[in-house]
Amino acid sequence: MDVQGNRMLVTGGRGFIGRAVVKLLQDSGCGVVSLDVAPSVSSPARRHEVECDITDARQLQRVFEIESIGGIVHLAAILPTAAQREPALATEVNMHGSLNLLEMARRFGVRRFVVGGSLSVYGTCGEDQVVSEADRAAPEDLYGAAKLYVEQAGAAYRQYGLEFVSLRIGRVVGSGARSASSVWRSQMFEYLASTHAAQIMIPYVGSERILLAHVDDVAKMLVELLRAQKPVHSVYNAACESVVVADLKREVERLNPCVNVGLGEAYASGNPRRLDWSRLREEFGFQTLPIFEQLRIAAGKS
């Protein structure tokens, strides 16, 4: 995809994944507009920080009038726990806000629109079921239903020439997340260098399998879909690794004996446990670094 002379718009640009995407685009020499409802901060010359609420169509339109947008990575969303707590706000942001953005992309002739989708569109799947994009979507919560709606809306907008692509993402781990409801995803990496006793609480039972993806890999996948000449498909499962929770606990504690990992009693409902992401691998040759290797790097032991 030729992006010369245009900026790439990243919504949710100050979020966990958004910051990684913005950095990756910027490091590649791309001009970036980082859009977020959070207050703006000072930024490098190749990136504009824009404070904007995507539910406000007029405010969003002004961004498109001022900036020359060549492509979009849409990550702004109310996350699952907050969505259950505030369903009206979640619907407004995750569905209506996304629709506003699709409409602006149509009106201003944006070619490529990549959305951060979710594996929660599949709902709960059996432990032995390996889920591919061909499997039927059956979301079980408001967040997953909204993600499926955005995919369907995006498919409708393809009639206008918009190249819409969704990357269905699992649980994202790595340093720097600010989520209050699942802090363990970052603590696993951040506490590995600790020389003092530290406690991490993973809410799942030890026998449970969860699908994990490192934030840096997720950013690479999104940018690949943004910049690819022409993706064959409109939906891709993200490259995720199926990890047994008890194995994760043992590895973190082995890498740093100062860290104790407690486990809860929850099961990973609302998501698959095993994933087929061969569509992404075969089309783009995408490879990931195993999660345990990422942890070893964070611990300074690789």
User: Which is it for strands 69-74 and 112-118: parallel, antiparallel or unpaired?
Assistant: parallel
Q: Look at residue 133 and give its three-state secondary structure.
A: coil
Could you tell me the sign of the dihedral formed by the alpha carbons of 220, 135, 105, 170, in that order? negative
User: How far is 279 from 125, CA to CA, in rounded Å?
Assistant: 20
- DSSP 8-class letter at 206: T
User: How far is 298 from 252, CA to CA, in rounded Å?
Assistant: 10
Cite the active site residues.
143
Structure tokens at 26: 């910027």
Q: Look at residue 302 and give its three-state secondary structure.
A: coil
- DSSP 8-class letter at 93: I
The closest alpha carbon to 277, from 135, 175, 87, belongs to 135
Residue 115: HSE in the Cβ half-sphere, 13 Å Cα cutoff: 30
- Within its chain, how far is the Cα of 226 from the centroid? 14
Structure tokens at 123: 């709902």
Q: Where are the alpha helices (DSSP H) in 3-94?
A: 16-27, 57-66, 80-85, 87-91
